[in-house]
Structure formats: structure tokens, C-alpha cells
Amino acid sequence: MSTIATYLDRPIAFQRAFVALGAGITGALLLSQAVYWSRRSGDDTGWFFKTQVDWEEETGLRRAEQETARKRLLTLGVMEEDRKGIPAKLYFRVNFEKLEQLLTSGSASKQDCGNPANKDAENQQTGSRESGAPDCGNPANRIAGKSQTKLRKTTTETTAETTADISSTTALAAVAGASEAGLDAEERKEAFAALCRQTWEAYANAYFVRYETEAVRNAKGNATVVNLVKRLGAEAPEVARFFVERVSEAFVVRRCHGIGDLLAQCEAYRTQWASGMAVTAEGARQTDRTASNANTAQGAAEKAMAIVAARRAAAVQQGADHAE
């Protein structure tokens, strides 16, 4: 088996319809994998055990992304969690009744051609060319009370998130150096946009985990993200995540980790991220006290040395006077 075949040997059955539930692309991915294991758990009640490392190895989702996805799925009621055993382990279960209810309630038309996640890609393309729309209808229509405009927006945002994940390597290369990456102007523009999306996603996921509410996104926030990427380049997503997860300065906490505050001191936060040390207000005061004490000690030592030197000079002069 070739090297590339080895990497592609463990595909994940991603259920596209789950995106419309409102848990985002990460929630849909985690739920898809949870459905897979619920059916293979060996437990009659559907519970299965997974560690954070297991989830990351199978889905590629990092800790903050997992926590965000889990909270959204728990809020929707499609996933359940329970700690069992000694020592306690975290078990998961999919609530298939709730999942079916969300997928089918208010649907104008039920699917009659199978799971869209398992359709042959060629059939999808053929259907799109012939009718101008997927041949199974829009799977997002299964969610009650959602307008077509809202659903189109959701689909667009999901596509953008997916593009950001797929284009991460290209984006990093483009920001690091366009000429070295060998990208033309249009590719550089797309790569930069992908990195901006990654930066917002990293910030928003960490924000949801910390505050259990969505970060406000508007035109000002979008402009802030663009400037953040311009100043930090490929490191912007990780610095944004670090800012929300680790920075506990009183001023920042009072303002609920506003993305504008991140931009204002982004180089300083980048240094904290790179060094693995988040500076708190108390930590800053301690550093100042240490520096002040060091300066005081140094000044005292220099003063003492000057006094000793003066006394020695006086003694030498006194000896010379006696000799005369």
C-alpha cells in the first residue's frame, strides 16, 4: 500500500444533513462520528466511551473545537453525556429520536433518494447540471421554522468553513510569502480569505467555550480579523484562540475578550502565546516588583562599592601624608 493510500485508509462518514441542525461544521462532524460509534458500541442503550485524544485522532478536531461542538449538540438535545465508573469516564450517546425529530419536522418534502452523504459524486453533479439544484432537494429544509434565505446563508457559511480547513496549508504559505508559495494574485486572495475565516473560527469557538454564547460578528469584527491576519500572518488563528482561552487580564475579562482588544495588543499576545505564558495583572505587578527590587539591589551594591573605594582612597592618602 502506498503512503498516500495509508493516509486515506480511514475515511469518516460525514452526514451533510447534520450541518443544518445549527451546530456548525464541527458539530456535524462530531455528530456523524458519534452516530457511527453508537451503532457499534455493543451497549444496548447506545452509550460509548471516547477520550479527547480519540476524538482528535478520528476527526482532527482539537480540544476547543470538540468542546464547542459538544456544547452545541447537547443544547440541541441530539447528544447526551454521562460520567460512569471509578475513576469516572465520559460516555456519549446519540438521541436518535430527537435527531429524527429535528431532521424531519417542518420538512416540505422528504428525501426519497437515500442519504445525501452517501450519494455518488457523479450523480450529484449530473443532477445539478440537469435541474440546477441537488436531485434530493435541499437537505437543510428539514429544520422547522428556517427560511430559505437563512438556509442559503447557513450553506454558504458551511462551505466557507470547509474551504478554510481544506485551504489551510495554502493560506499559510500565501501569507508567509507569496512569491515563495508560487501563487498568483487570485490564489493569494483566496488563501488570505481562508486564513481570515480560520482566525474567526478559532476565536469564535474559544469564545463559545468560555462564555457559552456566540461571539458577535459584524462588519467591524470582519475588518478587525483582516487587520489581525495582516499583522500576525499565519499565526493569527492560534493567537486568537490563546487570547480567549488563556488571557485573564482584568481589563480584557471585563470587556469579555473583545476581538478589538486582541487587535490592539496582538503582537504582545503573540509573544505570550509563543512563550506559552499568559501574563495576568498580578503577574505583571510581580514582574515589576522583581525588576524594581533588582534595580534597588543593584543600586545599593553600586553605592556600597563606591563607599568602599572612597574609604580605600582616603586610607591611601592618609598613609602618604604620614610618610612625608
Question: Distance between CA atoms of 28 and 15, rounded to whole angstroms?
Answer: 7
Poorest-pLDDT segment among 95-109, 156-170, 171-185: 156-170
Q: In the predicted model, is pLDDT for residue 95 greater than 70?
A: yes
62, 38 contact by CB (below 8 A): no
Question: Distance between CA atoms of 53 and 313, rounded to whole angstroms?
Answer: 71
Calculated CA dihedral for residues 245, 249, 253, 256, nearest 10 degrees: -60
Q: In the predicted model, is pLDDT for residue 42 greater than 90?
A: no
pTM over 0.85: no
Q: In the predicted model, is pLDDT for residue 25 greater than 50?
A: yes
Confidence (pLDDT) at 290:
58
Q: In the predicted model, is pLDDT for residue 155 greater than 80?
A: no
Confidence (pLDDT) at 24:
86
The C-alpha cell at 1 is 500500500
Q: Which residue has the higher pLDDT, 262 or 7?
A: 262
Q: Which amino acid is at 94?
A: V
Top mean pLDDT of 26-40, 125-139, 154-168, 292-306 is at 26-40
Confidence (pLDDT) at 29:
92
Question: Distance between CA atoms of 294 and 296, rounded to whole angstroms?
Answer: 5
Per-residue confidence band for 6, with pLDDT thresholds at 50, 70 and 90: low
Poorest-pLDDT segment among 65-74, 140-149, 287-296: 140-149
Per-residue confidence band for 291, with pLDDT thresholds at 50, 70 and 90: low
Confidence (pLDDT) at 51:
92
CA within 13 Å, CB half, 163: 15
Which ranges constitute the DSSP H helices of 51-116?
52-59, 63-76, 96-104
Q: In the predicted model, is pLDDT for residue 2 greater than 50?
A: yes
User: Of 71, 72, 90, nearest to 81 (Cα)?
Assistant: 90
What average pLDDT does the structure give for the chain? Answer: 74
Question: Distance between CA atoms of 231 and 290, rounded to whole angstroms?
Answer: 31
Question: Distance between CA atoms of 253 and 148, rounded to whole angstroms?
Answer: 38
Domains of the chain by start residue, with CATH: 3-142 (1.10.10), 167-275 (no CATH)
